[in-house]
Structure 1
Amino acid sequence: MTTLRLGTRRSALATTQSSWVADRLRALGHDVELVEVSTEGDRDRTTPLAQLGGTGVFVSALREALTAGTVDVAVHSLKDLPTAPDPAVAVAAIPEREDPRDALVARDGLTLGELPAGSTLGTGSPRRRAQVAALGLGLEVADLRGNVDTRLAHVHEGRLDAVVLAAAGLRRLGRADEVTEWLDPIQVLPAPGQGALAVEVRAGDEAATAAVTPLDHPDTRACVTAERALLAELEAGCSAPVGALAEIVEGVDVAELSLRAVVAAPDGSGDLRRSLTGDPEEAADLGRRLARLLLEDGAADLMPTSTDRPVTERAL
């Protein structure tokens, strides 16, 4: 078979994720070559994400490489993908999800509840900022960008008391031993799609699609489909203060899809949490129904206006 050129961003996490996919494709008998693609979000690590441009700042360069024929496959952190479909590409596989939770790395092994009032906590995510603020712990939340090493160094070198990152990224990079608390979704719901990967191909590329499809995990696809349908129905963008988590659970007779979500005011002054359960085969409909329930109960009053919404939460 012709070698599959797999596009990846240059960060350690992106390369690790892409290599994980590449290894599984090789195990299926394919030759795979990693091709580095630089995105605007990678080149500019100082400008706040909200000022960098449109949704998908970490995605567009990989998609351009796909459509130009420079690569055959692209790997994304699923939560980076805009909810609007791109007709030029197709998500051919969503592999089994890693841990979807957020994780705390704090000085002195402290948990979130043990951090003294006034402690500084770093995050670049409006969703995390809003939910942490809503807990009423009196923490000072500081904006934070950079790769995993950069963020963790802020704690280890004493510039911050704690940081919150995606559990999946820390696990994939072998940094789970630095976590001082895995945050319960009851406290902090993750971003829609967090912990999952999206493997994209060019629309109509039958060979690449056939190669990648065996990596698809139906339960994970159902869960993230529900979460992203909720986000799209809310028209909230990838990093409005919206958290969502779907899980396959045992029903009375058959497996069911349980979806819970939160919409929070950016400053943490209020939040709205709701949940629904439905058929995994109707995941998108379940997400839309829960979004409409949230809107009926006042979610729109909590979300920022469209001109103020940040562009993307990012993989960590």
Structure 2
Amino acid sequence: MRSFVIGTRGSALAVRQTEIVSALLRRAHPDVTVSILTVRTTGDQQAEQPFEGLAGIGFFVKELEVALLERRVDAAVHSMKDLPTVDTDGLTLYAVTAREDPRDVLAGRAGVTLETLRRGARIGTSSPRRAAFLRARRPDLEIVPIRGNIETRLRKVDAGEVDAVLLAGTGLHRLGLGHRIGEWLPFEVILPAPGQGALGVQVRAGDEDAMRIVAAADDPPSRWAVLAERAFLARLQGGCRLPAGAHAVIRDGAVRLQAAVVSPDGRRALRGERNGPVSQAQAVGRALADDLLHRGAADLLRAVGATG
């Protein structure tokens, strides 16, 4: 039987996500023995360091990509929101899984909602995007930088260090922690990170056998939506530290993309929307980024050093 090794980060969520992909591949290819290899990334090794202190981009994927290039694994599974928008030489993003709910949530204690939080409540997040959108909606709240895996962040709520945390809701559900969600935040409040809610499967460029195997995990509508969002982010020359959100929907052969860029203090926000044929999904993303840049988004991005 053909042996096929999938690389993943070692967190409980990353392993669970890779198990989802592994199950898809096993069902499609019963003649292939699929196994999982965990790889510790820079982001995991420096779990207490603020994102601003981590050099470069891709600190949750670099070591996985090295393992792939060195042929220690045949494929790597990533959260799409963590994957840099430019392909690493020698590698290609070949499959995007069916996307789950991409919305962010307010999590921690039962019943916690954005409207019922007291003035001055402490909200934990490591994401400049979430912090900026939250400040735009509730400038009276205190943003507390917080890192670590989902379980660690929830323990900080239980210990009283913060009143709630902002997280991707799908991650909580994948870990069986949906009961810790207080409120799913609508797109009018926080637009998700490009690719949030979807998983990406990366393989070596030109590895046709690996491509054949991982194709079973691909969901075309999700892939086109994610490509539109990532094209938007790439045009802004930003990564996961950029205070920008985007969400695309594919329907009847067309893509509808909405996106926003917010100043770090939340006082200024630029929103826009673009539509186009699904075959032009990436062009739609780039066009919407250009729209926002022409309206002044470049000034907002300079505030976080996102543009040159």
- TM-score, length basis structure 2: 0.96
Alignment partners' CA distance in 2, 1:142 and 1:201 = 37
**How many angstroms does 1:137 deviate by?**
4.6
Q: Which among 275, 287, 296 is matched to residue 294 of structure 2?
A: 296
Alignment partners' CA distance in 1, 2:132 and 2:187 = 14
In the other structure, the counterpart of 2:5 is 5
Check conservation: 1:264, 1:270, Cα contact below 8 A: yes
**How many angstroms does 1:88 deviate by?**
0.9
Alignment partners' CA distance in 2, 1:136 and 1:147 = 25
Alignment partners' CA distance in 2, 1:217 and 1:24 = 11
Letter in 2 for 1:155: V
**Higher RCO (Cα < 8 Å, 6 or more apart):** 1
In the other structure, the counterpart of 1:314 is none
How much identity, in percent, do the aligned residues show?
46
Check conservation: 1:124, 1:143, Cα contact below 8 A: yes
In the other structure, the counterpart of 1:19 is 19
**How many angstroms does 1:255 deviate by?**
3.7
1:135 equivalent in alignment to 2:130: no
Deviations 1:128-176 (A, max 9, x none): 0000000135100100100011001111221111101001111111111
In the other structure, the counterpart of 2:59 is 57
**How many angstroms does 1:237 deviate by?**
2.5
* Structure 2 counterpart SS, 1:109: coil
Alignment partners' CA distance in 2, 1:174 and 1:22 = 19
**How many angstroms does 1:293 deviate by?**
0.4
Letter in 1 for 2:149: N
**How many angstroms does 1:106 deviate by?**
4.0
* Structure 2 counterpart SS, 1:303: helix
Check conservation: 1:117, 1:137, Cα contact below 8 A: no
In the other structure, the counterpart of 1:177 is 179
- TM-score, length basis structure 1: 0.93
**How many angstroms does 1:305 deviate by?**
5.2
Q: Which among 201, 204, 210 is matched to residue 202 of structure 1?
A: 204
In the other structure, the counterpart of 2:256 is 258
Check conservation: 1:240, 1:304, Cα contact below 8 A: no
**How many angstroms does 1:220 deviate by?**
0.3
**How many angstroms does 1:96 deviate by?**
0.3
In the other structure, the counterpart of 1:230 is 232
CA RMSD of aligned residues (A): 1.3
In the other structure, the counterpart of 1:312 is none
Alignment partners' CA distance in 1, 2:106 and 2:53 = 26
Structure 2 unpaired stretches of 5+: none
The alignment of Structure 1 onto Structure 2 pairs a total of residues equal to 304
Q: Which among 166, 169, 184 is matched to residue 167 of structure 1?
A: 169
Structure 1 unpaired stretches of 5+: 310-316
Alignment partners' CA distance in 2, 1:265 and 1:134 = 9
Check conservation: 1:131, 1:264, Cα contact below 8 A: yes
Check conservation: 1:168, 1:195, Cα contact below 8 A: yes
Q: Which among 46, 54, 68 is matched to residue 70 of structure 2?
A: 68
In the other structure, the counterpart of 1:268 is 266
Alignment partners' CA distance in 1, 2:215 and 2:120 = 49
Letter in 2 for 1:294: L
